[in-house]
Amino acid sequence: MDKYDQILLRELLANGRASFAELARKVNLSAPAVAERVAKLESSGVITGYQAQVDLSKIGLPIQCVIELRLAQHGNQKAYDDLTQIPQILECYRVTGDSCVFMRAAVGSMPELEVLIDKVARLGFSKTSIVLSSAIEPRVPLEQLSR
């Protein structure tokens, strides 16, 4: 993970569809050299994939929320499986502290939100906060890179 790889990572975070030729111009290497480096970043697991970023409000999901959940039975794998099955949940993290799970979800309407909350609440005590705005869209810090 030298300086070239760092620049490539930064560029692919900013534009995941950048061509190898484009990337090659940024780092002053040949396209084959860049392709090989990116392939290595992928096979070593640093880059796990590429994803289009979608404006949720433009696909009928204008309401976002954060849900904290304290599971009724702690360490219950089935509960996580149940949560995974709910498509409205965008992210889901098991955490330390008195909440067991943090989630972010998106729904199309308040009735849908109500259904979602009911579904989640079956698994334990939940607390839902509506997202008003996001100050930071999902990003990755590359300042202090190691390895």
Rounded (10°) angle between helices 31-43 and 20-27: 100
Which of DNA, its own copies, none does residue 117 bind (CB under 5 to 8 Å by kind)?
none
CA gap 22, 5 in Å, rounded: 14
* Residues of this chain, 63-82, that bind its own copies according to CB under 8 A: 64-66, 80
Reduced to 3 states (helix: H, G, I; strand: E, B; else coil), residue 120 is: helix
**Number of shown-chain residues binding its own copies (CB under 8 A):** 70
**Closest approach of DNA to the CB of residue 19, in Å:** 3
End-to-end CA distance of the chain: 6
Note whether 37 binds DNA by CB under 7 A.
yes
Q: CB–CB of 69/92 below 8 Å? A: no
Confirm or reject binding of residue 87 to its own copies (CB under 8 A): yes
Residue nearer to DNA on the CB measure, 3 or 78: 3
Looking at 106, 113, 116, 123, which residue binds its own copies (CB under 8 A)?
Answer: 106
